[in-house]
Structure 1
Amino acid sequence: MKVNILITLLSLFIISCSKKVEKPNIVFVFADQWRAQSLGYSGNPDVITPNIDKLASEGVYFSNAISTAPVCTPFRSMMLTGQYVLKNGMFMNDVLLDPDSKSFAKLFSEQGYNTAYIGKWHLDGNNRSAFIPKERRQGFEYWKALNCSHSYNNSNYWSNDDKLHQWEGYDAELQTKDAIAYIEEQSKNKKPFCLMLSWGPPHAPYQTAPKEFQDLYKNTDIQLRPNVPEELAEKTKTLLKGYYAHCSALDSYISELQDAIKCSNIENNTIFVFTSDHGDMINSHGQTKKQKILEESTKVPLIIKYPALLGKKGKKSDFLFNTLDILPTMLGMSGINVPTGLDGEDITDVITGKKEDTREASLVSCIQPFGQGKRSKGGKEFRGVITKRYTYAKDLSGDWLLFDNAKDPYQLNNLTGNPDFKSITKNLEGLLYEELNRLDDKFLKGAFYIEKWGHTVDSTETVPYTN
């Protein structure tokens, strides 16, 4: 009798051990140039984002999500490879990511995932509309993408048939519908899938969202951030109406994606991520675009919803999450071993409360100013850190910026050189050099790195591109 019981227990143990753990699906959605301050759940009274606000109430939303190098190509390269830009050479726009990179889709494909990429790519060199061959798609199988375009109506894309097609209408809407079709098809398969949906808006041009979303703001008296100069007030209000129209359009597509996931009965086992590559100054401090360490450029939205692991009750996290953490965290949440050589951290255990949050700072860098952030527009090489209270940065001449973001949330008072903050400055400088040493960043002139990686630049130190 005892022998039979032991045999039965042993059989059950063997069956339980051999049973495969179901891998989660991943739907990773990111916009271009959506700053963290332009969302309802972050306290913005004007922008209409009810669906993203709802998403935040169902997942973990990060108040300190930081773009490590706040500009398009650098962010995308770090997101896919988990490597700092001085290790993959992608510290400027319009340069080519090494086709042999051990990147996101390749790592998930090795674990049995189907993979897809839809939307803006911006990792294939300086011809923004050219065909991208399969060997340069970083392992993504399903493919409907264009290297780069900011024409959001009737824009082009390349598909798996290697032919040029057109999104007939507002491209973010059509890209979302295509993503939904992919989700619905994949939900019928036994294999898990990983889908990346990359929207071009709300990046400029700001006044090109569908009319129904522009009309939402027609009679709104936009409230400006106090760091917008008075002489730019009316212009900024007009820009923000267009910017917010894009935001509200994308917000509606978040709802459609969530509905598709629920209707496909895969919500519980799907990791859904919403974020952005960097922010947008929109005249805060009289500045535009990105490549800055200021809040409007560097802080981005980040929400992770994964009911099977995180439940469905929203939770705010002040963890200093940076771009390099994306790949290892997605791997870790999926139960996949994180390979050595990545520069970020799998923070799954921090999110779930199994591990203490010990991170003191996150790095932000500009290796080489270029394009919209070129030197004639005030751009410069810098390295800095953001903590839960302070922003600190050095340029090649020495200490450059220090803000107490708790007392000065709009960063109006640069404390650099203030004797009362001497010890704080020294501590922040120490944290900065810890990160630079960890990443083997010698903080040299941009020209050194341009030459090292063989990038071709024009008289403004920018890689010239063709459309």
Structure 2
Amino acid sequence: MMSFFLNLLATVFFCLNSDSPDSQYVTDSSGAEQSKPNLVFILADQWRAQEMGYAGNTQIKTPNLDQFAQESLIFQNSIATLPVCAPWRASFLTGQYPLTHGIFYNDKPLPNEALTLGEIYKNEGYQTGYIGKWHLNGHQRGEDPFSGRDKPVPADRRQGFDYWKVREVTHNYNNSFYFDEKDEKHTWQGYDVFPQTDSAISFISKNRTRPFALVLSYGPPHDPYFSAPDEFKKLYNASQLTLRPNVPEELQDSARRVLAGYYAHATAVDYAFGKLIRALDSLGIADNTLVVFTSEHGDMLLSKGVLKKQRPWDESIQVPLLIRYPKKLGSTSRWIKNPIGTPDLLPTLLGLSDIPIPKTIEGNDFSDDLLKGSDISSDGTLIMLPVPFHEWQFSNGGREYRGIRTVRYTYVRDLQGPWLLYDNQTDPYQLNNLVDNPQFKGLQLELENLLQAKLDERKDQFLPADHYMSQWNYLYDRTDSIRPQDYLMRNRLP
């Protein structure tokens, strides 16, 4: 009863505090039907798939995303191929795997030569825009590893996006600054998610009579976990939150506090998302607009006793993915169960947009499956970490790995050999590692062969981290390259 009451209060709060879209936006009544679909891509940072009302979580308040899910394709197994910020973004924008575009480590520069979503849609006559976090300009070799985070991104490094309200990286979400098209510095007043959303609505409204492609990239719910506006923090009582069973008992009090702050950020993003969708709908262009909501990776949130990402467990790699496109996909909710990986997003969006797919793209185009009303034809998707760094650097237990996530199983190996095997159907919290269990020898071999086939397809030899750092002329940041002696011995590294 208390849970129901809290959800009811939250719903009332949103209704009372939501602006009336009809009072702000004028419906386009020109009568001209635009053949090319618009694209609105909304990206949250570090929002794991398990923390959604539509996914069965009864304690998080996501009323707008839950409503949107009722009109969308819901991808049950959307997987971050490399679950960390910059690599995900590079793979999404290029449709390539990390060892192809070279961004397998944060704060390294995406090559200018990369062909990206912005350039492809712009070449098709679209107005293009990008708002929020970029994280692909990086820094040059020898510079301080975080030196580029507060600098403007040069015009020739914006990869085809013209409307530009961007900060390379920040995790301060209150009164944060950004740079515009002229490299002029401005401040997002208040909690930046809200004015960023207003900027997106302005871009959409101004371009509603011509095709546009917009990426809106929010910072939250990425840590710091306790900086959401107070009205959203008040919606959650940490002591009443239920944790996943794989959070160690000694960390559960801390986990509840972190989760409450994380939820506050998520609900604030949901509130902004609702405002954007109502504005889009009121402009009369929703039917011919592809709207996507997803995240670049998850957050362990003290499951397995750790925070953040890079790890191959579902809390890190599994992210929400919703796609709404009424004109071609209808307005009825449908679950897509088979896995989709990060490089598959761009070709699938291009397919749904009737745009030819460039040869540089390596991901799969699943648009035909979606248009036919079937599940996607995927037998599994790669997960990888060529170089562990920062919060999961070598001295903190980080390790290189390659793995496969199928609709049911997770199989991962490190440089020593098989490391993890989970049956996610019978063991959804991944508590029982089945690697080298004689009872599952056949399954392990089957998954090993599937993984190896995908690595062979990518020409991925799965070499130690130093190889890739040398290949791309990268330097390790700070202490990332310091390996414990037992690591060197176990992996027979020089």
User: Which TM bucket (shorter chain)?
Assistant: over 0.9
Q: What is the match of residue 128 of structure 1?
A: 149
Quick check: 1:73–1:93 contact (8 Å CA) kept in 2? yes
Which residue identity lines up with residue 164 of structure 1 in the other structure? K
- 1:377 to partner: Cα distance: 2.0
User: Which residue of the partner structure matches residue 488 of structure 2?
Assistant: none
Distance (Å, rounded) in 1 between the aligned partners of 2:376 and 2:354: 21
After superposition, the CA RMSD in angstroms is 1.5
> Is 1:161 paired with 2:182?
yes
The residue identity in structure 1 corresponding to 2:207 is Q
Aligned counterpart for 2:191 among listed residues 159, 170, 175? 170
Of the candidates 121, 129, 133, which is equivalent to residue 108 of structure 1?
Answer: 121
Aligned partner letter, 1:360: D
User: Quick one: structure 1 residues 340 and 419, their matched pair in 2 at CA, closer, same or farther if it must change by over 3 Å?
Assistant: same
- 1:341 shift after superposition: 2.8
SS in structure 2 opposite 1:206?
coil
Aligned length: 443
Deviations for 1:8-65, whole angstroms, at most 9, x for unmatched residues? xxxxxxxxxxx99700000000100000001111111211001101111001010000
Counterpart among 200, 203, 209 of residue 219 in structure 2? 200
Q: Is the 8 A contact 1:371 1:462 kept in 2?
A: no
C-alpha displacement at 1:354, in angstroms? 6.1
1:86 to 86, 99, 104: 99
- Give the structure 2 partner of residue 444 of structure 1: 463
Indicate if the aligned counterparts of 1:324 and 1:343 stay in contact, CA closer than 8 A: yes
1:312-461 maps to which residues of 2 (within 5 A)?
A: 312-353=331-372, 357-461=376-480
Contact 1:320 1:387 (C-alpha < 8 Å) held by counterparts: yes
Give 1:253 shift: 1.0
Find the partner of 2:265 among 246, 256, 259. 246
The answer as to 2:63 corresponding to 1:50 is yes
How many Å separate the matches in 2 of 1:22 and 1:220?
Answer: 52
What TM-score do the two structures reach when normalised by structure 2?
A: 0.88
1:151 to 166, 172, 176: 172
Contact kept, 8 Å, 1:128 with 1:149, in 2: the verdict is yes
**SS state of the match for residue 424, structure 1?**
helix
Give the match's secondary structure for 2:338.
Answer: coil
Mapped partners of 2:457, 2:73: distance in 1? 28
Q: Find the aligned partners of 2:138 and 2:372 in 1 and give their Cα distance.
A: 41
Match of 1:37 among 50, 53, 58: 50
Matches of 2:351 and 2:194, distance apart in 1: 31
Matches within 5 A, 1:194-343: 194-218=213-237, 221-343=240-362
Identify the residue that residue 3 of structure 1 maps to in structure 2.
Answer: none
Residue 226 of structure 2: SS of its match in structure 1? helix
How many Å separate the matches in 1 of 2:458 and 2:365? 17
The residue number in structure 2 matching 1:12 is: none
**C-alpha offsets along residues 446-466 of structure 1, whole Å, 9 cap, x if unaligned?**
100000001122452379xxx
Question: Is 2:158 the counterpart of 1:137?
Answer: yes
- Rate the CA distance shift 1:438–1:213 in 2: closer, same or farther, 3 A: same
CA contact (8 A) 2:413 2:420 kept: yes
Q: Which runs of 5+ in 1 are unaligned?
A: 1-18
What does residue 65 of structure 1 align with? 78
Partner of 1:14: none
In the alignment, the residues of structure 1 paired with residue 345 and residue 279 of structure 2 have an alpha-carbon distance, to the nearest angstrom, of 24
| Distance in structure 1 (CA, Å) of the matches to 2:250 and 2:285 | 51
Q: Residues 106 and 211 of structure 1: is their aligned pair in 2 closer, same or farther, counting only changes over 3 Å?
A: same
Quickly say closer, same or farther: Cα 1:226–1:113, change in 2 above 3 A: same
CA 1:385 to 1:154, structure 2 compared with 1: closer, same or farther past 3 Å? same
Contact 2:115–2:360 (8 Å) recurs in 1: no
- Cα distance, 1:376 vs structure 2: 2.1
3-state SS in 2 of match to 1:216 = coil
For residues 458 and 37 of structure 2, the distance between their equivalents in structure 1, rounded to whole angstroms, comes to 31
Deviations 1:123-169 (A, max 9, x none): 01131111111100001000000110000001110101211111111
The superposition leaves residues 298-335 of structure 1 with CA deviations (integer Å, 9 ceiling, x where unpaired) of: 00000000000111111111021110111101111000
Q: What whole-Å deviation, never above 9, does each CA across 1:45-99 have from its counterpart, x for those lacking one?
A: 2110011011110010100000000000000000001111101110000000011
For residue 5 of structure 1, what is the aligned residue in structure 2? Answer: none
CA distance in 2, matches of 1:362, 1:102: 23
Percent identity between the two aligned chains: 45
The aligned amino acid for 1:256 is K
Q: For the residues of structure 1 that align with 2:204 and 2:239, how far apart are their CA atoms? A: 36
Q: Which residue of 2 aligns with 1:16?
A: none
Amino acid in structure 2 at the alignment position of 1:453: W
What displacement does 1:342 show?
1.3
Moved more, 211-220 or 148-157: 211-220
Question: Residues of 1 paired with 2:477 and 2:428: CA distance?
Answer: 37
Q: CA deviation at 1:287?
A: 1.3
Matched residue of 2:287: which SS? coil
Amino acid at match of 1:215: K
Check the 8 A contact 2:388/2:398 in 1, yes or no: yes
Q: Aligned AA for 1:168?
A: Q
